[in-house]
Amino acid sequence: MNVNQQPPMASPYGQPQPGYSQPSYAPLGGGYPGPYGPYSGPATAYQPGAPQGSARGPPPVSTNQAYSQYAQGDIQNGPPPMDHSMAQPAQRPPVCQPYSHGAMNLSGPHPSYPQQYGVQPSMQQMTNQMSGMQVGSGPLTSAGPGYAPPPSSEPPISAAYSAAAPPSYTQAPHPVSGAPSQPPPPSEPAAPQPYYDGPPPSQQPPFPSSAPPPSQPFPSSSPYSGPPLPANPGPLQSLDNSPSHLAPSPAQQTFPNSAPPPVSQALYSGPLPPPDLALSHLPCIPCPVPCRPAPRPTPLPPGPMQQPPQPGMHGGYPTQQNGAFGQPRGPQPGYAGPQYPGQQNYGAVPAPTPAPTQKRLDPDSIPSPIQVIEDDRANKSSEPFTTGVKGQTPPLVTTNFQVKDQGNASPRFVRCTAYNIPCTADMAKQSQVPLAAVIKPLAMLPPDETRPYMVDHGEAGPIRCNRCKAYMCPYMQFIEGGRRFQCGFCSCVTDVPPHYFQHLDHTGKRVDCCDRPELSLGSYEFVATVDYCKNNKLPQPPSFIFFIDVSYNAVKSGMVNIVCQELKTLLDYLPRENPEADSVVRVGFVTYNKVLHFYNVKSSLAQPQMMVVSDVSDMFLPLLDGFLVNVNDSRMVIESLLDQIPEMFADTRETETVFGPVIQAGLEALKAADCAGKLFLFHSSLPIAEAPGKLKNREDKKLVGTDKEKSLFQPQSGFYSNLSKECVAQGCCVDLFLFPNQYVDVATLGVVPVSTGGSVYKYTYFQAEMDRERFLNDLRRDVQKPMGFDAVMRVRTSTGIRATDFFGSFFMSNTTDVELAGLDCDKTVTVEFRHDDKLSEDTGALMQCAVLYTSCSGQRRLRVHNMAVNCCSQLADLYRNCETDTIINFFSKYAYRSLLNTPTKTVRDTLVNQCAQILACYRKNCASPSSAGQLILPECMKLLPVYLNCVLKSDVLQPGADVSVDDRAYLRQLLSCMDVSESHVFFYPRLLPLVKLDGGSLPMAVRNSEERLSKGGVYLLETGLYLFLWVGANAQQELLSNIFGTPTFSQIDPNMTSLPELDNPFSQRLREIIDSFRSQRSRYMKLMVVKQEDKAELIFKHFLCEDKSASGGASYVDFLCHMHKEIRQLLS
């Protein structure tokens, strides 16, 4: 049977298995019962009879057999012939079986978990099976029109698709709002059906059809019909197994085949929508059938855990692809058939034994991010989002919507984790839902929304509350006929200055309410007076200083040349407020290696003058006049300089660089010019030259995974943090462009940029031809983007809560003021709130974020964002009005920051715990009673597990062997100031099938799993940092011709960084899409073409975050099971 296959797989994984296998056996025999016990409980609840029986009782024959075989297989290691169903495709079937084992394990002993956790295969396998089953049923061609067809690949893919689609539906959605999981369908194991029945999404006509299939496959389902769970048993078993050996590998192999069609997801979404219920119940382990779901709850079959530890994931992958893939597909046609058997088992299994069936938790049955996104898009993008209503959750970041400011800040400026916050600290603590706001104070708005109005309150400055100093805003209550106002934050009453007096109307509102932005809008700006300026002096316009590393590596990589060329034109695009006028930003230039070269580019000079400062130990500015100049005045000199720099250093042999003195030099320059500004550093290597801030190479891979790992994220010395303090005091923002060929200690080099509101860009192994475009676009954007300088941000809140913690790129010298030497339109500051008193449901909670900054024209301004949220005394309200994306954004920032002081493992555990607590709290307090074995997720948070898993699997928290310490430090810093939309795509990349690209809309995304990829298709994956164009090995020739201009797969150049400009609608549209994607992100995404089965595919697969990751990250399904287990532990 399947077993056979496993062994081989096992070998790659190696060690774990042997150990496992044997022990596992033993348990199997007698021990099992024990572990199962606990699980069974829940299971029973669900489905009393069948599941339990299956689990405990003598497994159904089939399962047993499978099991035993499996076991044997492991032990023997012998090559497994395909016992079951599919003769040839053998692999798959086997998989199924193993899975089932796995499933059993899952439910079972927790201890085993960790190991299993790592391994994900089982889940996938299960899904495979599911899909397989469905396939059989799989009439749902509709789902993937494009997919199905794929000629060559057809077998696998098409099959998968069609099959998948249907199943997914069934399972995932729980259409029926009605009862808890049970009602749905008897068919339930097959899950699909029930869903379908329920509220089939309009879109999903296929469903009905599909429904049948599932049922068919599971004749046995009837037993299931009980509620759930056959599944339960499954998981349990799997758990047990896993420890033993559930060959993880098999899982993987199966994977490909099973790949549930993307379509299914779509369907899924349909059902989900159910508004109120929002809860998705996930059947706990019961996996296969999981969803019995309650109305809206999304039941998730957990199951994954089973897998044996599969360290070797990587190894496994390739093999699967290569070999397994092909095979499975071949069989496809027959697939349905073969699989059926498996399914049968499944069906049977549940009842009888945990065997094969349980294991598979159909991925389509678990909450699909794609579905959620699509639903939100469908429901919320049509109407503008008005901010007037308190406590309203805005549309998701993935939805295009228009905002009308009616008194609260637009979600483009402020997003909260929860829009109904608990009235008491106890509630908040109980729920564990973080209360935080992700604020992007200077966010760019789409053209159809007006940017915040400018308000001038005259010489006396903005009108503020006398006590708490909150700025005039819509929450100020005018009283006594308008002569005084009461502060909404602290309730203090303040006199209205005479020049600001206005009568009130009959409702107590000022009659000029609508004419004054500060009385009617959520976001606006004040003109700041001299009192708001440093030293009580109006600021000078800011300056930009460019520091170009001209050491050997920098020159050789072509960076110097590119920068110099680009600056010549870029200088015409310095930020300005009035597009008609010239920018008032002055510029200066410095090159450096282990000494610094300043340039005098005074307009009166015929040639620039270079001034070398070798005394880097004690940096100073060698010249004043002529260093910072107006671009237009000195254009000739600057151009001459930029022409000459590459020549001057073309033959350099200097390899050492300094870094600290470079920043010091910029700082000195700004001090001397008495202005704020931004330093652009183009740097190539670890600064080892003798100078302050000299670093040593401390990269030590051995530390990874140990308690000392955190030291890798900490700066090497305090030098840079001290320096950054000085920079902040001067308003000196540092942007760092790195071009490393080896370790450069990003963790240390990034200290100053991160503390000054700057950015770090990293171009590892920079090659002029390959990376030029990305770098230049980043640079252009970085130079041009609107930003404020020398900023201070203060968040005021109404009584009862207060801002306690801040995340982002800034510096804080006290506990309340966020100081940013620079604040650009892409930077966010995340603020965490905590209760310090009770809140009232009547008044809600208010928050005012005020940012004082100097504009690029040198004007001092105050930008104010106001946000009011509801307070709730019912936890349900909290869970109903929160935003998972934002929560994830907060969690990830929190976790990434914790890395500095806490071992990585602890950080991960904490995350999982908190998440489990959130969900457990919901389950305990808000969900309608149901079987304890059922996983029930709040509607608003049903994606929490999948996203959280992505966070846990991220390179920062769980690095693969090929992820350098620098990369992790880089990503860690990068994330700290991401907004929600960026963090969303960063953790859950967008995967678009490139099928028909006609029309203005994008094709619907598919879930990030390898099994969703069709060998005959081409996919575009957006990660926020990269774009991948994945080309299936059997992609249609026409498609290839349209995209690449060649019909032959093998002729596609995997090194291309941009697509050929072909004159066909498909190509044009594709390039449009790519362009539009790029324009949405703050960093330019380099396009990489990945050919299936090419080496580079590993990188691509890394982003398929629902799958097991090469670094040992759990698959979605596995993680969900794990989560479920955690929750159950909490509940019990």
Partner 1 sequence: MREWRVAMATYQEFIQQNEDRDGVRFSWNLWPSSRLEATRLVVPVSCLFTPLKERPDLPPVQYEPVLCSRANCKAVLNPLCQVDYRAKIWACNFCFQRNPFPPSYAGISDVNQPAELMPQFSTIEYIVQRGPPNPLIFLYVVDTCLEEEDLQALKESLQMSLSLLPPNALVGLITFGRMVQVHELSCEGIAKSYVFRGTKELSSKQIQEMLGLTNPSATGPQGRPAAPQDPAVTCRFLQPVHKVDMNLTDLLGELQRDPWPVPQGKRPLRSTGIALSIAVGLLEGTFPNTGARVMMFMGGPPTQGPGMVVGDELKTPIRSWHDITKDNARHLKKATKYYDALANRAASNGHSIDIYACALDQTGLLEMKCLSNLTGGHIAMGDSFNTSLFKQTFQRVFSKDHNGEFRMAFGGTLEVSTSRELKVSGAIGPCVSLNAKGPCISENEVGVGGTTQWKICSLSPSTTLALYFEVVNQHNAPIPQGGRGAVQFVTQYQHSNTQRRIRVTTVARNWADAQSQIQHIESSFDQEASAVIMARLGVFRAESEEGPDVLRWLDRQLIRLFMFHLRRSPFLQVFNNSPDECSYYRHHFVCQNLTQSLIMIQPILYSYSFHGPPEPVLLDSGSILPDRILLMDTFFQLVIYHGETIAQWRKAGYQEQPEYENFKHLLVAPVDDAQEILQTRFPMPRYIDTEHGGSQARFLLSKVNPSQTHNNLYSWGQETGAPILTDDVSLQVFMDHLKKLAVSSAA
Give the number of other Cβ atoms within 10 Å of residue 1065's Cβ: 11
Nearer to partner 1, 260 or 693 (CB): 693
* Binders in 385-404 for partner 1, by CB under 8 A: none
Nearer to partner 1, 480 or 647 (CB): 647
609 φ, ψ (degrees, to nearest 5): -120, 135
What is the per-residue binding string for partner 1 in 583-602, x denoting contact by CB under 8 A? Answer: -----------xx-xxx--x
* Binders in 689-708 for partner 1, by CB under 8 A: none
Sequence-separated (6 or more) residues with CB below 8 Å from residue 561: 555, 646, 768
Minimum distance, C-beta of residue 625 to partner 1, in the bound complex (Å): 3
Strand 543-549 with 586-592, pairing: parallel
Minimum distance, C-beta of residue 591 to partner 1, in the bound complex (Å): 11
Nearer to partner 1, 449 or 654 (CB): 654
Q: Applying CB under 8 A, which of residues 382, 607, 813, 928 lies at the interface with partner 1?
A: 607
* Binders in 971-1010 for partner 1, by CB under 8 A: none
Give, as one character, the DSSP assignment of residue 1095. T
Instruction: State the DSSP string of 369-427.
Output: HHHHHHHHHHHHSSSPEETTSTTPPPPPTTS---EE-SSS--TTTEEESBSEEESSHHH
Nearer to partner 1, 313 or 645 (CB): 645
Give the number of other Cβ atoms within 10 Å of residue 786's Cβ: 17
Minimum distance, C-beta of residue 610 to partner 1, in the bound complex (Å): 4
Give the number of other Cβ atoms within 10 Å of residue 617's Cβ: 11
Nearer to partner 1, 456 or 615 (CB): 615
What is the per-residue binding string for partner 1 in 841-880, x denoting contact by CB under 8 A? Answer: ----------------------------------------
Nearer to partner 1, 655 or 1041 (CB): 655
Nearer to partner 1, 641 or 736 (CB): 641
Minimum distance, C-beta of residue 633 to partner 1, in the bound complex (Å): 16
Closest CA to 446 of 400, 378, 406, 415: 400
Question: Which is it for the CA torsion 399, 401, 406, 407, positive or negative?
Answer: positive
CA distance 909 to 948: 11
Q: Applying CB under 8 A, which of residues 552, 763, 807, 811 lies at the interface with partner 1?
A: 552
Minimum distance, C-beta of residue 110 to partner 1, in the bound complex (Å): 57
Minimum distance, C-beta of residue 779 to partner 1, in the bound complex (Å): 24
Choices 54-62, 608-616, 716-724, 954-962 (CB under 8 A): range interacting with partner 1 = 608-616
110 within 8 A of 365, measured Cβ to Cβ: no
Minimum distance, C-beta of residue 541 to partner 1, in the bound complex (Å): 19
Nearer to partner 1, 657 or 1023 (CB): 657
Specify the 3-state DSSP secondary structure of 198.
Answer: coil
* Binders in 609-668 for partner 1, by CB under 8 A: 609-615, 618, 620, 622-626, 641, 644, 647-648, 653-656
Sequence-separated (6 or more) residues with CB below 8 Å from residue 65: 1
Nearer to partner 1, 565 or 1057 (CB): 565
Nearer to partner 1, 550 or 974 (CB): 550
Give the number of other Cβ atoms within 10 Å of residue 620's Cβ: 12
Minimum distance, C-beta of residue 535 to partner 1, in the bound complex (Å): 16
Minimum distance, C-beta of residue 547 to partner 1, in the bound complex (Å): 16
Q: Applying CB under 8 A, which of residues 202, 569, 606, 998 lies at the interface with partner 1?
A: 606
Minimum distance, C-beta of residue 683 to partner 1, in the bound complex (Å): 18
* Binders in 213-242 for partner 1, by CB under 8 A: none
Nearer to partner 1, 105 or 600 (CB): 600
Joined tokens for residue 283: 């059947």
**Paired strand residues for 743:** none
Minimum distance, C-beta of residue 693 to partner 1, in the bound complex (Å): 18
Closest CA to 736 of 710, 711, 765, 757: 757
Minimum distance, C-beta of residue 821 to partner 1, in the bound complex (Å): 25
Sequence-separated (6 or more) residues with CB below 8 Å from residue 190: 133, 134, 167, 170, 171, 213, 214, 215, 217, 218, 221, 289, 347
CA distance 740 to 758: 19
38 φ, ψ (degrees, to nearest 5): -55, -45
Nearer to partner 1, 573 or 620 (CB): 620
Nearer to partner 1, 654 or 773 (CB): 654
The dihedral over CA atoms of 484, 487, 492, 497, expressed in degrees to the nearest 10, equals -30
Minimum distance, C-beta of residue 638 to partner 1, in the bound complex (Å): 12
Q: How many residues does the chain have?
A: 1132
Sequence-separated (6 or more) residues with CB below 8 Å from residue 297: 174, 180, 181, 277, 279, 280, 281, 282, 927, 936, 937, 939, 942
Nearer to partner 1, 655 or 784 (CB): 655
**Paired strand residues for 797:** 847
Number of H helices, E strands in the chain: 41, 30
Minimum distance, C-beta of residue 263 to partner 1, in the bound complex (Å): 57
Nearer to partner 1, 611 or 1033 (CB): 611
Choices 255-263, 567-575, 605-613, 1094-1102 (CB under 8 A): range interacting with partner 1 = 605-613
Q: What angle do CA 278, 179, 268 make, to 5 degrees?
A: 50
CA distance 945 to 931: 20
673 is a contact residue toward partner 1 (CB under 8 A) = no
Q: Applying CB under 8 A, which of residues 425, 479, 605, 1096 lies at the interface with partner 1?
A: 605
Q: How far is CA 505 from CA 71, 378, 481, in A?
A: 82, 41, 9
Size of the site for partner 1 (CB under 8 A): 33
Choices 448-456, 604-612, 1060-1068, 1093-1101 (CB under 8 A): range interacting with partner 1 = 604-612
134 within 8 A of 203, measured Cβ to Cβ: no
* Binders in 709-748 for partner 1, by CB under 8 A: none
163 within 8 A of 135, measured Cβ to Cβ: yes
Minimum distance, C-beta of residue 643 to partner 1, in the bound complex (Å): 9
Nearer to partner 1, 595 or 887 (CB): 595
Q: What angle do CA 517, 519, 522 make, to 5 degrees?
A: 65
Instruction: State the DSSP string of 26-55.
Output: HIIIIITHHHHHHHHHHHHHHSTHHHHHHH
Nearer to partner 1, 224 or 599 (CB): 599
Minimum distance, C-beta of residue 648 to partner 1, in the bound complex (Å): 7
Closest CA to 439 of 783, 855, 890: 890
Nearer to partner 1, 510 or 594 (CB): 594
Sequence-separated (6 or more) residues with CB below 8 Å from residue 127: 258, 260, 360, 361, 362, 363, 364, 1011, 1117
Minimum distance, C-beta of residue 606 to partner 1, in the bound complex (Å): 8
**Paired strand residues for 1030:** 1019, 1090
Minimum distance, C-beta of residue 637 to partner 1, in the bound complex (Å): 10
Choices 557-565, 603-611, 744-752, 1085-1093 (CB under 8 A): range interacting with partner 1 = 603-611
Judged by the rule CB under 8 A, the positions of this chain that interact with partner 1 are 552, 594-595, 597-599, 602, 605-615, 618, 620, 622-626, 641, 644, 647-648, 653-656
